[in-house]
Structure 1
Amino acid sequence: MEKTHGKIGTKEFIALIMLTVGTKLADSTPSILYESLGNAAWLGMAIICILSILPLYFLTKLITHFEEKNLIDITKLLFGRYIGFIVLFILWILQFHSLISSSAVYVDIIGSMYFTKTPIFIIYIVLMGVAAYGAKKGIESIGSTAWITLPWIKISLLIVLVITFFQGESNFMFPILGPGEMEILKEGTMNASIFAEFFFIALLATNVKNKRVYKKGVWVAFIFVSIEFILAFISYVMLFDYEGVKLINYPYHETIRYIQIGFIKNVESLFFPFWLVASYIRFAVGLYISALLFGSLFKVKQFEYIVPAISTIVIFLGLIPEAPVFSLSYFRVIFLYIVTPIILILPFLLWATAIIKGEFKK
């Protein structure tokens, strides 16, 4: 049997990215675009996909050029010791904040829509506890789990989308341009950091078998996730109408509660477990990346051992907001606006610095 030494192959890497990014279409992310764009939110999502191509190209070009280096090593090499530290520290703060806010949203989904009588604190402990266990076992274990569960999770999503398209009304998509072309362009540009996970995945570049696997995995996952998001945004509008969808915080979960499959009652019980598994994988990856960045910044070689500490801090900070639905939604919009220029510009700056220093000639 081939020894992978903690590295993952193409299938595992693609599955890991698809589940890490794809779960966003089932949380409060769609409601951010629906609130400002209404039935044209899917066009705003298309703008985000298009804008993400160029930064992702520069980032992938850098990663594939530097053998045995991830984004951490490349940032230190190109920006130097001190500026590199500052840049990486900012990235860690942003990633850690995203981990806290998104986990709080997921706990609110579970507590408000499925386990209404279970204390939020208990739900948070179970969610982050399972994710921390997976993160501590390493990226190879997470990748294997992601690949095993990916077909079932995506089949369940496909079933939901197909049923929604059949039971929805295509007339609800009109007028196609919603609030207008300029508003679509503006909101799509300002929320481009919805795909920020593709940037942070570059931190795992040394955890894949080779750079060819990294390049293939990123682009294949990007194409699939982009199609998923656009189709999901269209289906939600077709089911709830452009006004109704603005009032919903979690469109996916309202969808699986609304759709009908013959005589089956409580349809959501069929799809909720698949979403829950995908959520565990997403937060396992998030905790692993957070520990990896922290370990690199503060010279902690066995960074896996700080995963439990990070997950504990996430739980306590995530429990601070008293009304997660409203407060977290507001702060998440502001957060996306702040992160977007960093995600769009930093890959270009790294690429330009590499050219100036002559790294591509070596």
Structure 2
Amino acid sequence: MNTSMQEKVGGREFTSIFLIAVGMKLSDITTTILFESGQTAGWMIPLLSLAFMLVAYVVLMSVLKRRAGQGLPEIVFTVGGKFGGGLICLLLFAAALLMTAVTSRGYVDIINVMVYQQSPLYALYLMLMAAAFYVASRGFAAIARISWVLIFLIEGAIFLLIAIMWQDIDWMRLYPWAGPGVLAIVRTGFMHSAMFGEIILATALVPQVTTFKAFRIGSAVGFIVSSLKISFLMAVYLSVFDYPEIIHIAYPFQQLTKNTSFGRVFTHAESFFIGFWLIISVIYFAFYIYLLAYLFGHALRTDRYQKLLLPMAGLVVFIGLIPGNTEQVRSYWELLISYSTVLYGALPFVIWLLDWNWRRRHAKT
């Protein structure tokens, strides 16, 4: 796939995309599900998932480094042939599509419950995906530039939120540190490693970044910083709401914003945070719609993947409307995370073996 005519993004813009794509998990159903599994040690799970996924990331980066300028689709078609490359691209596409659909449905549920209680769910879903499609249609460089402009505002808003709630934080509520037990936490961290599957999916976008070094640094910094941020915010949620009350709060981030106020003058500070969160959500799903179209286009071996943006947005809405309620959304999320962990964890090693076999065969000829 030739991207020479497309505008590439630099390291800072790519880092910003990653900080948003991974960091937004601190504000959705992910945190509640992790608290249900990890109890008072739930905030440690992102750190353990980070450690497990870093192993797969390092293995995959060793292959990408040998094939500078090529993204994951180009590499798998080279080392795996048309069938193997197409199969791997389709598997990644399917995993990303289903997770995007379930995650976006969770966001729409949040909007429906916290902001627009009287609006039909499907109408909110269509508006969110329409806005995301519009941003995605501007191109990857536009998504990157918007992310770069917003990232400092995002981090500032999070810092402000924590500063306002600081007096309500009781760090003693983090005890017992081990929660249900060390082995249980380690096992849960491993089984939820796919919550950071973006680190694998994003390797498809290597040709869209100016240099491989910029991609490597941007993805690593975005991945690690976002994981630490999620873990810290989860510790804040637990320190404010305590356990077991936290598992009965469907959306801890949104509930935290409802508890904030700027003195007696501005008592409804959640309006500021929720409005800002809605804007970031559009950018978040714009990135995923673009990534879905990019992966599927490469699976079909076509350069005209931009025309797939609208079908991808529609497919996300169609699949996302299947769950009947929030509990089903959580069940589907848990199921997808389990299967995706196997995919994202094993795939880098499979690609490494295919690359090793390809180099061995070509060294003889």
TM-score (norm 1): 0.95
CA deviation after TM superposition for structure 1 residue 116, in Å? 1.0
CA deviation after TM superposition for structure 1 residue 65, in Å? 2.4
- Superposed CA offset, 1:269-299 (max 9, x none): 1111221122111111111111111112223
Give SS of 2:149's match: helix
Instruction: Find the aligned partners of 2:65 and 2:279 in 1 and give their Cα distance.
Output: 31
Give SS of 1:358's match: helix
Instruction: Find the aligned partners of 2:356 and 2:319 in 1 and give their Cα distance.
Output: 41
Question: Do 1:164 and 1:236's aligned partners in 2 also have CA atoms closer than 8 Å?
Answer: no
RMSD: 1.8
| Alignment correspondent of 1:40 | 41
Question: Do 1:173 and 1:237's aligned partners in 2 also have CA atoms closer than 8 Å?
Answer: yes
CA deviation after TM superposition for structure 1 residue 29, in Å? 0.4
| Alignment correspondent of 1:329 | 330
| Alignment correspondent of 1:22 | 23
| Alignment correspondent of 1:277 | 279
- Superposed CA offset, 1:200-228 (max 9, x none): 11111110001011011011112211220
Question: Do 1:69 and 1:205's aligned partners in 2 also have CA atoms closer than 8 Å?
Answer: yes
**Aligned 1:156-175 pairs, distance under 5 A:** 156-175=157-176
Instruction: Find the aligned partners of 2:351 and 2:314 in 1 and give their Cα distance.
Output: 34
Instruction: Find the aligned partners of 2:167 and 2:357 in 1 and give their Cα distance.
Output: 54
| Alignment correspondent of 2:292 | 290
| Alignment correspondent of 2:112 | 111
The verdict on how the C-alpha distance between 1:38 and 1:78 changes in structure 2, with shifts beyond 3 A counting, is same
Structure 1: which amino acid aligns with 2:29? S
Instruction: Find the aligned partners of 2:162 and 2:59 in 1 and give their Cα distance.
Output: 33
Question: Do 2:71 and 2:204's aligned partners in 1 also have CA atoms closer than 8 Å?
Answer: yes
The verdict on how the C-alpha distance between 1:65 and 1:162 changes in structure 2, with shifts beyond 3 A counting, is farther
Question: Do 1:8 and 1:208's aligned partners in 2 also have CA atoms closer than 8 Å?
Answer: yes
Say which of 247, 266, 269 aligns to 1:267: 269
Instruction: Find the aligned partners of 1:6 and 1:181 in 2 and give their Cα distance.
Output: 47
Instruction: Find the aligned partners of 1:4 and 1:153 in 2 and give their Cα distance.
Output: 32
**Aligned 1:196-215 pairs, distance under 5 A:** 196-215=197-216
Instruction: Find the aligned partners of 2:203 and 2:247 in 1 and give their Cα distance.
Output: 34
| Alignment correspondent of 1:136 | 137
Instruction: Find the aligned partners of 1:358 and 1:294 in 2 and give their Cα distance.
Output: 27
Give SS of 2:125's match: helix
CA deviation after TM superposition for structure 1 residue 262, in Å? 2.0
CA deviation after TM superposition for structure 1 residue 61, in Å? 2.5
Structure 2: which amino acid aligns with 1:348? F
The verdict on how the C-alpha distance between 1:235 and 1:214 changes in structure 2, with shifts beyond 3 A counting, is same
Question: Do 2:73 and 2:299's aligned partners in 1 also have CA atoms closer than 8 Å?
Answer: no
Question: Do 2:260 and 2:267's aligned partners in 1 also have CA atoms closer than 8 Å?
Answer: no
| Range with greater deviation from structure 2 (139-148 or 169-178) | 169-178
Instruction: Find the aligned partners of 2:272 and 2:67 in 1 and give their Cα distance.
Output: 45
Unaligned runs of 5+ in 2: none
Instruction: Find the aligned partners of 1:338 and 1:179 in 2 and give their Cα distance.
Output: 23
Question: Do 1:152 and 1:274's aligned partners in 2 also have CA atoms closer than 8 Å?
Answer: no
Q: Which consecutive segments of 4 or more residues in structure 1 shift more than 4 A?
A: none
| Range with greater deviation from structure 2 (271-280 or 25-34) | 271-280
Unaligned runs of 5+ in 1: none
Question: Do 1:9 and 1:209's aligned partners in 2 also have CA atoms closer than 8 Å?
Answer: yes
Give SS of 1:291's match: helix
2:324 is the alignment partner of 1:309: no
Quote the sequence identity (%): 25
The verdict on how the C-alpha distance between 1:262 and 1:111 changes in structure 2, with shifts beyond 3 A counting, is same
- Superposed CA offset, 1:79-103 (max 9, x none): 2221221121111111111111111
The verdict on how the C-alpha distance between 1:351 and 1:78 changes in structure 2, with shifts beyond 3 A counting, is same
Instruction: Find the aligned partners of 1:137 and 1:226 in 2 and give their Cα distance.
Output: 28
CA deviation after TM superposition for structure 1 residue 4, in Å? 8.3
Instruction: Find the aligned partners of 1:222 and 1:335 in 2 and give their Cα distance.
Output: 20
Instruction: Find the aligned partners of 2:37 and 2:126 in 1 and give their Cα distance.
Output: 34
Structure 2: which amino acid aligns with 1:56? Y
